[in-house]
Structure 1
Amino acid sequence: MDDSRPNLAPDDADLIGTDAGEVVVIGAGPAGLTAAYQLHKYGIASTILESSDTVGGISRTEVRDGWRFDIGGHRFFTKVPEVEALWHEILPDEDFMMRPRKSRIFYDGKFYDYPLRATNALRNLGIIEAIRCVLSYVWVRIRPPKDQSNFEGWVAARFGWRLYGTFFKAYTEKVWGV
């Protein structure tokens, strides 16, 4: 196989060299742009549909009056060297700005680390609510949610129903509309 092409999973190899037709990519955020770029490397045509007049999705940075504003809480983060190498291949170094990240949740007058850290969350919640959260967590360890194929069940199984209701449910509804 040509070394200039990425490694393929066995099922992906079936697409190469066939008439796959044109692929429609929904969204010009990092995932959509990466998908279109990889398809292009394979010689597969794609059309990107984006509702905005600019790329980046909710990971983009807007500039106004010389100030930079991140549109969403999303930043490029990976521990996978191949993914980082791909983005360095796409973007010139001067456009790939490395910045330390500090995200926090402001809830009930206190800042919580994000992603949540158990010690920080339990300390900030206070003794009574912390006990409720720990008991909720113990309960899901004994009786995990039957359906973990959705966000609610998956998060509840890992953090307990109490923390799901406190932090994850409203955030997900507000940011993602689900």
Structure 2
Amino acid sequence: MNIDTLYVRTEKGQNALTDRYVKLPHSLMRALIIVDGQRNVGELHTMAPLYDDLDESLETLFTEGFIEITQPQRERPKAMAENADGTPHEAPKQNTDAPSHKNVKWRLISMLQVELGSKSDASIKAAAEKMIHSISSLPEEYLALSAAWKKCVKVTKITIDVELAETIRRQGEELLAQLQE
């Protein structure tokens, strides 16, 4: 799969996210959630490194009409730097092999959307939305996100399911550890 491909949800894809009667497999639903028309496939992989089947899910969503290929809204400007004499030159590329410290917050939110947003119980969805809202307002800092994440795990454990809370705790800790590297 080309990492520069940019997908956007179709009307069918949007409906799948909002219509509780549309039943997509878990792997397809979590891929559909992160497709936003702004991030290309490479960026989606960076955002969701735990999704081993992301390429296959995107292909299936595309084939079944839930997403389509789109063009970027605008070309991203090349990073420019200046030589000592003030003349511009292209800045060196960043090492993309290094772990991504950006988007941990959004990857935590995506995980909550996938794990809790797929539940049919309205109270669970409401709890998930509150958790997502609290995390989305925080800075991308370990202490703030870690404290909020612990609250999410606690609420999940008390009100929803102990096993699910453990899954969320473990996956969240893996993501949060990236902010400490």
Q: Tell me, yes or no, whether TM beats 0.5.
A: no
Which TM-score applies when normalising by structure 1? 0.22
Higher fraction of strand: 1
Which TM-score applies when normalising by structure 2? 0.22
Larger radius of gyration: 1
Higher fraction of helix: 2
Higher relative CO (Cα under 8 Å, sequence separation at least 6) belongs to 2
